[in-house]
Amino acid sequence: MTDKAQNKALKIAIEASLKAGEAIMQVYNTEFDIELKEDQSPLTIADKNANDIINAFLKPTNIPIISEENKQIDYNIRKSWRTCWIVDPVDGTKEFIKRNGEFTVNIALVDNGKPRLGVIYVPANKILYFGDVGNKKAFKAQLVEHNTPYEQALKKGEPLSPKRKSSKIEVVGSRSHMNDETLAFVDKLKMQGEEVSIVSKGSSLKFCLVAEGGADIYPRFAPTMEWDTAAGQAICNAVDVKVISKETEKPLVYNKENLLNPWFVVS
């Protein structure tokens, strides 16, 4: 993909995320119904509305879309896709339902299984993260309005910079999915003589926290899907933070036959 095409894709992804975020917040402040999907994960009208908006932005690119809320395409068709969008219209639906603000819109562009661009929008506080792996740059922008024009959003972007080694290791723990394996990982660090503290975050904000220097490491020893991680991995990779599979000891890859991720560590 050329630089021009990649810049255009980033513009589309940012505009889609902001418009979806606006629609999500219109639901957030109302009494909304909650459905349960087949896997017992929750679904609200915000997920559906945001998905429709994002699809409307991405479909004209003629790049195929893998979205949590789209009907999943058979791998026999998907395996021929070199490039695809990977989308989670509302990552952290449990956080959305709890109304704690820690939910995001995730949009990633993947090329040959590797995330190339990532956009994460936090609608509750109008914070936008975006990263371009090819250019090795990622940014965080505090916006005033959801409908901030693209060029203005870019100008507001402050470069992300991961944390340098410090005396205390800050481990990111999931707000809704802390488990025994993660606690054992923390105990192992302590046994090695490290001073450790746990920082809790919901949704893909855990990736952003490591990328912007708010924590050292994010171990994920619980199920995630590709749409939960692709945008966050792109943002991390853009600032040389690795997202490594515990299964292969290599970076997570995308558009796999099984869209379930293995366990992984971000550091």
- Give per-residue pLDDT as tens, 102-156: 999 999 999 999 999 999 999 999 999 999 999 999 999 999 999 999 999 999 9
Residue spans of the domains in the chain: they are 3-159, 168-266
Average pLDDT, whole number, for the chain?
A: 94
Higher pLDDT: 34 or 252? It is 252
Q: What's the confidence (pLDDT) of residue 145? A: 97
- In the predicted structure, residue 177 carries a pLDDT above the cut 80: no
N- to C-terminal Cα separation, the chain: 28
Report the sign of the C-alpha dihedral through residues 118, 122, 123, 129, in that order.
Answer: negative
| Range 3-159 classified under CATH 3.30.540.10 | yes
Confidence of residue 180 (pLDDT cuts 50, 70, 90): confident
CB atoms within 10 A of CB 122: 24
Which class is 168-266 in CATH?
A: alpha beta
Torsion of CA 102, 100, 225, 46, to 10 degrees: -100
Determine the 3-state secondary structure of 144 from DSSP. Answer: coil
Torsion of CA 211, 215, 221, 224, to 10 degrees: -40
Confidence of residue 173 (pLDDT cuts 50, 70, 90): confident
- In the predicted structure, residue 37 carries a pLDDT above the cut 90: no
Q: Which long-range contacts (CB under 8 A, 24 or more apart) does 241-247 make?
A: 241/162, 241/210, 241/211, 241/266, 241/267, 242/266, 242/267, 243/207, 246/221
The continuous run of DSSP H or E covering 206 comes out as helix 205-211
Q: What's the confidence (pLDDT) of residue 100? A: 92
Q: Give the Cα separation of 228 and 220 in Å (integer).
A: 12
CB atoms within 10 A of CB 6: 18
- In the predicted structure, residue 57 carries a pLDDT above the cut 70: yes
Token pair belonging to 226 = 């590709």
Q: What's the confidence (pLDDT) of residue 175? A: 63
Confidence of residue 186 (pLDDT cuts 50, 70, 90): confident
**pLDDT cut 90: percent of the chain above it:** 75
Q: Give the Cα separation of 252 and 206 in Å (integer).
A: 16
* Strand 218-220 with 127-132, pairing: unpaired
Token pair belonging to 199 = 């920082």
